[in-house]
């Protein structure tokens, strides 16, 4: 874990969303936090109050004849029991752009500087408050789009992944220490054989643990990033109506005029705990309209990039060549066939459809009357979460692409250990690969890291966090 340090300058930023609201919060962190707020706060002497208290008063412009700016509540939290392990001040002022910005600018004039994106969390990591995987979980929690993705982020923020990775790294250290002892004190003739056996057994044991983690990666990544889901079909089959039903609001324009949707519309929706990034595409057909043609081209691109395709067909009409082309185009993609407009008479040849699709994942709906939505949501959840989503059964779920990549590299390093022993390499060379696995696992929690990685990770955070 990084060593605690206290020589950072003092930073300030707004921690609440911009715009009108009940309150805004300006957060200050650093050794000069109390000095900064004392210059601009009128009320109780904040240098004398107990830590973790909230205090009533007013913010004044000490550069302008003590001009009163706003009535506020100020929280005082003294190091080390704070988010950053530094002194933290939080100014709760009235929500609104003017008052918030004036107070923020006043913190700068009194000695703080603007915080960089994610700098509060970065300091929490550098000061040993949380590790790197927990830091990333903070952003996952902020960006969570469903209750299940929020639970997965909280699980990681609680340190469950960190604890497991720590145990794996300790196991590697233990075996490396034993190998060193065997190399330095070869008291028995068969020490080389015993050491090789020890390395192989430990490498296989560690691979089993890593494999169990990687099994959760597919589902975890879905919970974190969502499923890119393209709603496709020829014009006027009910794609936009389906989007509106899934969103539970009239987001897309619906008319009986073919070609109404001319561009790609996208929204996020929670389907049985699975976040779907829904893309309502323009109807795919041959057209001479230049604008519509651009939309059709974008629709085809959306299909190629999709994790899931909802192919909508009109059950009130016979299959067309365009329908058959779309069925063929999506045959090798995760797909659900939706027979829409079941509120009307059925004229589509279902036997032909079953033959073309191997009778897989076909459901009937009426997007206008909201019929068939529950079966659709259930089949989506079943396709990607066979046994459902239950974070309580999975103490650790890997959700982060960076973590997945490092686990895969660690697994490969352990493979090199096993193959090295099998090929008769000297033990002192094989243990280099075991050490590499230890280093790679350490990158997950930040036990080993570089400044460029930190800058890249925390630049993705919002200001004030």
Region of residue 85 (phi > 0: left; psi between -120 and 50: alpha; otherwise: beta): left
**40 φ/ψ angles, rounded to the nearest 5 degrees:** -120, 5
Look up residue 158 and give its DSSP letter.
Answer: T
- Residue 37 domain-assigned (yes or no): yes
The residues facing 268 across adjacent strands are 277
- Sequence-ordered list of residues with C-beta below 8 angstroms from that of 403, at least 6 positions apart, any chain: 133, 161, 444
Last residue of a domain, one of 358, 384, 410: 384
64 and 20 in one domain?
Answer: yes
Identify whether the C-beta of residue 203 lies closer than 8 Å to the C-beta of residue 386.
no
Look up residue 45 and give its DSSP letter.
Answer: -
Polymer length of the chain: 465
**Below-70 pLDDT ranges, the chain:** 1-7, 66, 182-192, 249-266, 280-297, 386-395, 450
61 and 164 in one domain?
Answer: no
Dihedral angle sign, alpha carbons of residues 172, 178, 179, 184: positive
Last residue of a domain, one of 384, 408, 432: 384
- Residue 452 domain-assigned (yes or no): no
If DSSP states are collapsed to H, E and C, what string results for 125-141? HHCCCCCHHHHHHHHHH
What is the total count of domains within the chain? 3
The pLDDT, as a whole number, for residue 198 is 87
369 and 237 in one domain?
Answer: yes
- Residue 462 domain-assigned (yes or no): no
**373 φ/ψ angles, rounded to the nearest 5 degrees:** -70, -40
Structure tokens at 323: 């329908």
The residues facing 420 across adjacent strands are none
The pLDDT, as a whole number, for residue 205 is 95
pTM for this entry: 0.75
Smallest Cα–Cα separation from 154: which of 387, 393, 388, 396?
396
CATH number at residue 111: 3.30.1360.120
Distance CA 335, CA 267 (A): 19
374 and 424 in one domain?
Answer: no
Identify whether the C-beta of residue 413 lies closer than 8 Å to the C-beta of residue 434.
yes
254 and 380 in one domain?
Answer: yes
- Residue 56 domain-assigned (yes or no): yes
Structure tokens at 407: 């686990």
292 and 360 in one domain?
Answer: yes
199 and 92 in one domain?
Answer: no
Look up residue 366 and give its DSSP letter.
Answer: B
Look up residue 465 and give its DSSP letter.
Answer: -
Smallest Cα–Cα separation from 380: which of 265, 230, 245, 276?
276
- Residue 104 domain-assigned (yes or no): yes
- Residue 465 domain-assigned (yes or no): no
Identify whether the C-beta of residue 312 lies closer than 8 Å to the C-beta of residue 341.
no
- Sequence-ordered list of residues with C-beta below 8 angstroms from that of 232, at least 6 positions apart, any chain: 239, 281, 284, 299, 302, 303, 309, 310, 311, 312, 326, 330
Distance CA 124, CA 135 (A): 8
Look up residue 2 and give its DSSP letter.
Answer: P
242 and 344 in one domain?
Answer: yes
- Residue 36 domain-assigned (yes or no): yes
The pLDDT, as a whole number, for residue 457 is 80
Q: Give the structural domain span for 180.
A: 139-216+397-446
CATH number at residue 203: 1.20.120.430
156 and 118 in one domain?
Answer: no
Distance CA 314, CA 342 (A): 8
- Residue 163 domain-assigned (yes or no): yes
The pLDDT, as a whole number, for residue 263 is 41
181 and 123 in one domain?
Answer: no
Smallest Cα–Cα separation from 245: which of 394, 420, 367, 402?
367
Identify whether the C-beta of residue 120 lies closer than 8 Å to the C-beta of residue 29.
yes
The residues facing 42 across adjacent strands are 58
Identify whether the C-beta of residue 123 lies closer than 8 Å to the C-beta of residue 7.
no
230 and 211 in one domain?
Answer: no
Last residue of a domain, one of 104, 129, 154: 129
164 and 237 in one domain?
Answer: no
């Amino acid at each position: 874990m990084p060593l605690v340090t206290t020589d950072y300058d003092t930073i300030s930023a707004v921690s609440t969303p911009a715009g009108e609201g009940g309150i805004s919060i300006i957060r200050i962190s650093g050794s000069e936090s109390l000095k900064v707020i004392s210059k601009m706060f009128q009320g109780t002497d904040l240098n004398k109050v107990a830590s973790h208290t909230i205090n009533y008063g007013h913010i004044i412009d000490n550069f302008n004849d003590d001009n009163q700016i706003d009535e506020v509540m100020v929280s005082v939290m003294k190091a080390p029991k704070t988010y950053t392990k530094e002194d933290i001040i939080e100014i709760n002022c009235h929500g609104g752009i003017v008052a918030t910005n004036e107070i923020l600018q006043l913190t700068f004039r009194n000695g703080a500087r603007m915080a960089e994106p994610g700098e509060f969390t970065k300091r929490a990591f550098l000061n040993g408050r949380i590790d790197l995987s927990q830091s990333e979980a903070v952003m996952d929690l902020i960006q969570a789009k469903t209750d299940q993705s929020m639970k997965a982020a909280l699980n990681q923020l609680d340190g469950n992944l960190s604890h497991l990775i720590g145990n794996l790294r300790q196991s590697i250290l233990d075996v490396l220490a034993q190998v060193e002892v065997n190399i330095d004190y070869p008291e028995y003739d068969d020490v080389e054989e015993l050491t090789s056996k020890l390395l192989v057994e430990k490498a296989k044991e560690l691979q089993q643990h890593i494999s169990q983690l990687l099994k959760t990666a597919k589902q975890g990544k879905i919970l974190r990033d969502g499923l890119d889901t393209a709603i496709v079909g020829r014009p006027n089959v009910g794609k936009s109506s389906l989007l509106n039903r899934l969103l539970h609001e009239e987001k897309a324009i619906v008319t009986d005029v073919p070609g109404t949707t001319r561009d790609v519309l996208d929204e996020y929706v929670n389907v049985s705990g699975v976040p779907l990034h829904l893309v309502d595409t323009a109807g795919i057909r041959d057209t001479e309209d230049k604008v519509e043609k651009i939309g059709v081209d974008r629709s085809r691109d959306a299909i190629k990039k999709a994790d899931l395709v909802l192919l909508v067909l009109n059950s009130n009409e016979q299959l067309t060549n365009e329908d058959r082309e779309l069925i063929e185009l999506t045959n090798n993609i995760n797909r659900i066939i939706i027979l829409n407009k079941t509120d009307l008479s059925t004229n589509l040849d279902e036997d032909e459809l079953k033959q073309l699709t191997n009778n897989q994942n076909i459901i009937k709906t009426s997007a206008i009357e909201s019929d068939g939505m529950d079966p659709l949501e259930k089949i989506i959840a079943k396709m990607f979460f066979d046994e459902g989503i239950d974070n309580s059964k999975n103490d650790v779920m890997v959700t982060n692409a960076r973590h997945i990549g490092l686990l895969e590299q660690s697994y490969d390093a352990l493979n090199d250990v096993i193959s090295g022993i099998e090929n008769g390499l000297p033990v002192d060379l094989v243990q280099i690969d075991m050490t590499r696995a230890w280093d790679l696992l350490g990158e997950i929690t930040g036990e080993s890291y570089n400044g460029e990685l930190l800058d890249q990770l925390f630049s993705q955070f919002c200001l004030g966090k």
